[in-house]
A and B are shown apart, each in its own frame.
Chain A
Amino acid sequence: MDTNAILGPVATLALWSMIMWVWMYATRIPAMNRAKIDAAKMVGGTGKNLDDVLPAEVQWKAHNYNHLMEQPTVFYAVAIALAVGGMGGGLNAQIAWAYVGLRILHSLIQATVNRVMWRFGIFALASLALIALCLHAFIGFVLH
């Protein structure tokens, strides 16, 4: 069993985060131009200030990019720990792929229709996958 198999989903989610970064700026910069915001004169603002200024669906891409820097950091830690501990193959790799697939679906929903109930359903499923990985790491590292 290839214990590094779990690094495939890790690399995929990292790359997906960068794709969301591109999507965020590809929509944000034109929207800033339309809103007549001159970034050259701005001092000290953060992306959050744009929530009041840009259309909601432009900010949804940024909301999702920010989310990708939140819970997935636990995913990266656990996945790398499982790989280092020789537990990154088989079922754990499949669960990790499920997590990444669900996170990509979550991104697509939040960046487009953004219906809260759908988003929550996908987030709950992804969280269950992450809970399973955490339990396997706990069993492997703490109980053994």
Chain B
Amino acid sequence: MSNSILAPGAVLALWTLIMLIWVAVTRFSAMSKAGVDLKVAPPGGRGADLEAVLPPSVNWKSHNYTHLLEQPTLFYAVIVFLHLSGGDVGYTRWIAWAYVILRIVHSLWQATVNRIPVRFAIFSLYTLCLFALSVLAVIATLG
């Protein structure tokens, strides 16, 4: 395993784009089943407009892709802070890996079964990881 806290960040960025591919593959086959033709779509349509048209399990992939562009932006900033200010040490790397692994589990759950209590539990766990990393980043940058 790499000895840089940037490695889990690179993995999460790549995972985000794998989710994008999953969105595209499932969405296009569902659109053709639903008879949606992009060529005659009215100008200005967006992914969110498909909420009412496609089956929920298809939209779940897209919900998760959207989530991956929300809280993780904070994660990227924090690991760069840690890396640049001497906070890139053993245990912070493990917390960052835990965050990324839990995000991947969260994606798989939301994209497939998507029962909310389980999703919420995973969300809470990785948010605790991010909380810890943020505190460590404050200590590393002030110190």
Which residues of A are at the interface with B, using a C-beta cutoff of 8 A?
A: 56-57, 59-60, 63, 70-71, 73-74, 76-78, 80-81, 84-85, 113-117, 120, 124, 127, 130-131, 134-135, 137-138, 140-144
Contact = CB atoms under 8 A, between A and B. Distances in A.
Nearest to B46: A63
B38 A70 contact: no
B94 to A, nearest CB: 15
B19 to A, nearest CB: 11
Nearest to A67: B46
A137 B4 CA distance: 12
A1 B20 CA distance: 32
B109 interface: no
Interface of B: 1-2, 4, 6-7, 9-11, 13-14, 16-17, 20, 24, 38-39, 41, 43-46, 66, 69, 72-73, 76-77, 80, 83-84
Dominant secondary structure at the B interface: helix
B44 A138 contact: no
